[in-house]
Amino acid sequence: MNINVIEADGGVTHVVLDGRFDIAGAQEADPRFSALAQSSGSVVVDLAKVSFIASLGVRTLMVSAKTLIRRGADMAVCGANENVEKVLRSTGFDEIVPLYPDFVSAAAWLTSRQAEFASKKP
């Protein structure tokens, strides 16, 4: 699995995955996602080039999302094909992390969440 991390505008980290998010892909991605979850503010995981996701791939995403949420940060997922999205929805992942069709809409949601959170700080 190829993992490309891009720091986009507005403090959004764009993580582009390419390949199969199976056992081997999850083992490769775990350390990168763990580090991102500890240090990033907002993360968009782009699954447009992911052809398959296994339960361990969902686990990697879920653990990272929960770590981000505990830190007051957010994650969104974009670009999942029909089969990958079906897996994410069937596991309930989409109840924790929103799914978007593309990076632009996911990043816009994260940016609005950041602004909403910042306005509530004393």
Q: Which helix (H) or strand (E) segment is 76 a member of?
A: strand 74-78
Domain range annotation of the chain: 2-120
- Encode 97-113: b = buried (16+ Cβ within 10 Å), e = exposed: bbbbeebeebbebbbee
Coil, strand or helix: which one is 54?
A: coil
Question: Quick one: tokens of 39?
Answer: 């240090």
DSSP 111: H
Confidence bin at 8 (pLDDT 50/70/90) = confident
pTM as predicted:
0.92
How many CB atoms are closer than 10 A to CB 60?
25
Please write the tens of the pLDDT for every residue from 29-84: 999 999 999 998 899 999 999 999 999 999 999 999 999 999 989 999 999 999 99
pLDDT of residue 118: 62
2-120 is a CATH 3.40.800.20 domain: no
